[in-house]
Amino acid sequence: MKVSFKERVAGVVRRIPAGAVMTYKEVAAAAGHPGAFRAVGSLMKANRDPAVPCHRVVRSDLRPGEYNRGGERAKIARLTDEGVTVRDGRVKR
């Protein structure tokens, strides 16, 4: 049975540990479609599954970006609660 792109993306994002992030581009590449970073963004925007930690996916410039559960401020709060450093509006790796 063929696994859909959406399922591959969700699988990649589920494996991002607390305290870590991946960019939309990195998620797309890990899901087998390196050019589909905008599609990853659309999937994360529509994600309502709490098992898929979409707040751990950030922009390529390491800015947090939007979050469908409260906007950028809520995303930053979730990331910092997990130990991610956000300084001057960017995630520090």
The catalytic residues are 54
What gap in Å lies between CA 74 and CA 26, rounded to an integer?
22
Q: Enter the tokens of residue 29.
A: 């590449």
